[in-house]
Structures are given as C-alpha cells and as structure tokens.
C-alpha cells in the first residue's frame, strides 16, 4: 500500500498522537518495539506523518528510514512485517532519494546542495 510523506512533525514520540491520549512511543512499545521504553530517546525522536488515502498515520522518524521490522498488531494475531520505506512515494515531478547515512552518499548530497 502506497503512502505519501505529509510532514515531519515537531512533535516527539512522547507526545500524543491524533487520538490525544496515547503517545506514539506507548503505541509502538505496546506492539513489541522495546526501544521506545527509553523516554530520553523517545523524547528526541520526531513523528513522521504519512498519508494513506484519506488516513494519516504517525511513524517514529528513526524507523521510517530503516528496514522492515516485525510488529504485534494484537495479542491474538501473529506479528506482521512493517516496512515504512515502501509507503513513501515522490509526488509527480519530484525524486525520492534513498541514502545510506553512514556512507559517502550523504556527504556528496551535502556537498552538492551547498550545506556545511
């Protein structure tokens, strides 16, 4: 299922999602992603909003750019593989780049964009 990147939010994963009650960190923690048990970390990670048709879903920014991960959707259902990278698509006329942050691609991108 395709989606479009709507926004990299200023809200952290500790902030409430659209329902106003549950934080994004609590949501993913309840589905087996134990890394969000560390509040110091989850308070630094931003929410990324991805639109799927008429729905907008929040993902932790640090996971959107990573590979697939197994997630518990419910206690009764088996884990499913979630790969947020597959949900991103560029708008017509734009190009979406996939770069390895630890390698030369990011340095080249910074060089050609004029960033310091």
Q: Which residue has the tokens 């593989």?
A: 81
Per-residue confidence in pLDDT tens, the chain, 116 aa:
456 777 888 889 999 876 678 898 998 888 888 888 898 988 988 888 877 777 777 888 777 666 566 665 566 767 666 666 676 778 889 887 766 656 676 677 777 787 76
At residue 74, the pLDDT reads 62
At residue 91, the pLDDT reads 83
At residue 105, the pLDDT reads 67
At residue 21, the pLDDT reads 82
Helix (H) or strand (E) holding 105: helix 104-113
Name 63's Cβ contacts closer than 8 Å, sequence gap at least 6: 28, 33, 69, 84
């Amino acid at each position: 299922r395709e989606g479009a990147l709507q926004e990299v939010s200023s809200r952290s994963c500790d902030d409430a999602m659209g329902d106003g009650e549950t934080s994004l960190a609590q949501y993913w923690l309840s589905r087996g992603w134990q890394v969000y048990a560390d509040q110091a970390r989850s308070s630094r990670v931003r929410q990324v909003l991805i639109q799927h048709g008429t729905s907008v879903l929040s993902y932790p920014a640090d996971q959107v750019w990573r590979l697939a991960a197994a997630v518990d959707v419910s206690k009764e259902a088996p884990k499913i593989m979630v790969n947020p990278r597959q949900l991103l698509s560029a708008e017509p006329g734009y190009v979406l780049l996939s770069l390895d942050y630890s390698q030369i691609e990011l340095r080249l991108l910074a060089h050609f964009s004029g960033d310091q």
